[in-house]
Amino acid sequence: MVERYRRLHIPALAEFSDSTLHETTNSYEDLTEAAAAHSGFETISRMERPTSTPASHVVSSAQELQSQQNAVNLPLYKIDFPENTSFVGRSDILEELDQTLTELAARPENRAYAIYGIPGIGKTQTALKFAYNHKQTFKSILWASAETKYKLIQSLSEYAVLLGIVPNQAGRDPHNDAERLMQWYKTTDTPWLLIFDNAVDPTLFLDYWPRNKRGAILVTTQLRIFATEDYCGQGKELLQLDEASAIQFLQSSVPDSLRNTEAARAIVQRVGCLPVAIKTSVGLIREAGCSLDDYNKEWNDPRTIIDRSDVKYADSRDARYNKGLRDLFAKSLQNLDLDARALVNVFSLMDDEHIPEEMLRNDLLAVQLPFLKHRARLIRDLIESCLIGPETEAHRSSSRRFHIHRMIRAFVQMEMKLNDRKSAYESASLLLNARVVTGGDPKFAGNKSYFQHVQALWEYYQRELAPDDPTKVDNKFPVATPALVQLLRKTSWSVFSHQHTEKAMTLTFQGGAIE
């Protein structure tokens, strides 16, 4: 009889023998043999049964459910990527995950957490680190790809087979497998961890969100909404690596002979300590065969790094990426309407931190700058697209402040055409000039929060818009607007009043030179 049904074993054999990327703890030989036998005998015993069953009848009795609980293959870790031996930093969020998802959790009834942030920031790698750190805590770990419903269902179905609660037979319904797995999660006494990686649509998870005090759910996503009460109820934006960890990451990726702490510091600062951008820099250094100092001389602008980026520099055995830097950011911009695009262009001309929302609260300028009429909606769109982010409570002020990552800022600037650059520069000049006030104004002390943005705008004008020879103004370049001249003068006086004399003299000279 076994010979007659030998072909029924093949899917199980193929699935288990190809699962080397999953890094399951169980012996592959043992699992393959067990799955093949389990699949064959289950199939033989169920030959008269229909190949698919309505989800409402998946678990037909308490006895069958109890049988499932007793027959599962544990411990079982289906993790789609190997452990990253080059992982550095992130101790703060790893500690927070410990306090939220393990038995230390203050809210054991809701062990769910969302890690969200811009592409390439390290969300997946942080989740992987947590998973590998906690194999002893959770006897069941499933890494489920959540980019599409098909991938999600397939991940759940495959794990149900590996676990042994459904037979690995031809013609089975993956949706029924997923439902059986949900039932197991809800009723088991086994500590389990379910990771939804790269989640893009909250509605995909409503039917696959098991609740059990013994279980925990971790979501990696670009969408902040997963951290709200409707889903995980808690979460955190993953920001750039701290500088020390970023330097360590870069130095460990190049030969000993090339290591140079100060040169490495310049590189990671240039790319805003973004992990995927550091990997890209390492790839360029290796390919050029140059020292870190030479690299700093030739690749001294984030836009150059983006322009030369390629998936081959970002991808590796330890951390898989299927896109280069340009492609990582491109989709976010493509999905914006014209008003949102105009606003993010303005953000890209500011400094990358502490951008005040109050700068955009100006009804008088809304006639000239129509996007101001829809400020709240556009800010929401930019946040959802991971182009900007609200700053944490550590930077409390009378209104929200935002940040835009240095590499996204550079990418947005690269994507602007000449007319877009002119429009963004003129809009930024008007907005900042309306906020920087003269000495007699009671709000004079508030000028300080705009210094860095005025400096960033002036540097952009000099680099991108100002003619090489001011006496021969080409029509394709805008001359400095009255708003920019006035802004520089007011800022220089304000800076002087705050006893930053050298910078004040520089700005005063600049304001006079371009008048």
419 and 435 belong to one structural domain: yes
**Within a domain: 158:** yes
How high is the pLDDT of residue 508? 46
State whether 143 and 277 are in the same domain.
no
The confidence score (pLDDT) of residue 515 equals 46
Q: How much of the chain is helix, strand and coil, in % rounded to 5?
A: 55, 10, 35
Residue pair 39/89 in contact (Cβ under 8 Å)? The answer is no
pLDDT over 60 (residue 294)? yes
Out of 237, 253, 280, pick the residue that ends a domain: 237
Check whether residue 307 and residue 440 sit in a common domain.
Answer: no
Shared domain for 86 and 181, answered yes or no, is: yes
Same domain, 395 and 252: no
Domain boundary among 217, 237, 257: 237
Whether 409 is covered by a domain: the verdict is yes
Tell me which of 232 and 105 has the higher pLDDT: 232
Q: What is the mean pLDDT of residues 313-341?
A: 83
The domain that holds 108 is classified in CATH as 3.40.50.300
Measured in Å, how far apart are the chain's first and last C-alpha atoms?
Answer: 94
Query: What is the per-residue pLDDT across 303-320, written as a single tens digit (0 to 9) for each?
Result: 999 988 887 877 767 666
For residue 375, pLDDT over 70 is answered with: yes
Burial 242-264 (b: 16+ CB within 10 A, else e): beebbbbbbbebbeeebbbeebb
- How would you classify the pairing of strands 76-78 and 401-403? unpaired
Percent of the chain scoring above 90 in pLDDT: 52
pLDDT class of 409 with cuts at 50, 70, 90: very high
What is 312-327 written as a DSSP string? HHH--SSS---S-HHH
Mean pLDDT to the nearest integer, 88-115 = 86
Position 312 in a domain:
yes
**Domains of the chain: total:** 3
Q: Which of 46-50, 191-195, 249-253 is predicted least confidently? A: 46-50
Given pLDDT bands bounded at 50, 70 and 90, which one contains residue 446? Answer: confident
Q: Compute the distance between CA of residue 358 and CA of residue 90 in angstroms, rounded to an integer.
A: 32
297 and 281 inside one domain: yes
Highest-confidence segment of 51-60, 345-354, 384-393: 345-354
Same domain flag for 213 and 263: no
The answer, yes or no, to whether residue 505 has pLDDT greater than 70, is no
Residue 131 is predicted with a pLDDT of: 97
pLDDT of residue 492: 80
More confident residue, 108 or 198: 198
Q: What is the dihedral angle through the alpha carbons of 129, 194, 201, 126, rounded to the nearest 10 degrees?
A: -10
CA distance 51 to 43: 10
Question: Residue 292 pLDDT > 70, yes or no?
Answer: yes
**Banded model confidence at residue 463, pLDDT cuts 50, 70, 90:** confident
d(CA 226, CA 221): 8
The reply to whether 202 falls in a domain is yes
Tell me, yes or no, whether 457 lies in a domain: yes
Task: Indicate whether 185 and 265 sit together in one domain.
Answer: no
* Residue 198 sits in the same domain as residue 277: no
Residue finishing a domain among 221, 237, 253 = 237
Which structure tokens are listed for 98?
């410990």
Within this chain, do residues 384 and 496 fall inside the same structural domain, yes or no? Answer: yes
Q: Which domain holds residue 300?
A: 243-320
| Co-location of 366 and 421 in the same domain | yes
33 lies in the same domain as 159: yes
Give the tens place of pLDDT for each residue, 28-81: 334 444 444 344 333 333 333 334 444 444 444 445 555 555 568 999 999 988
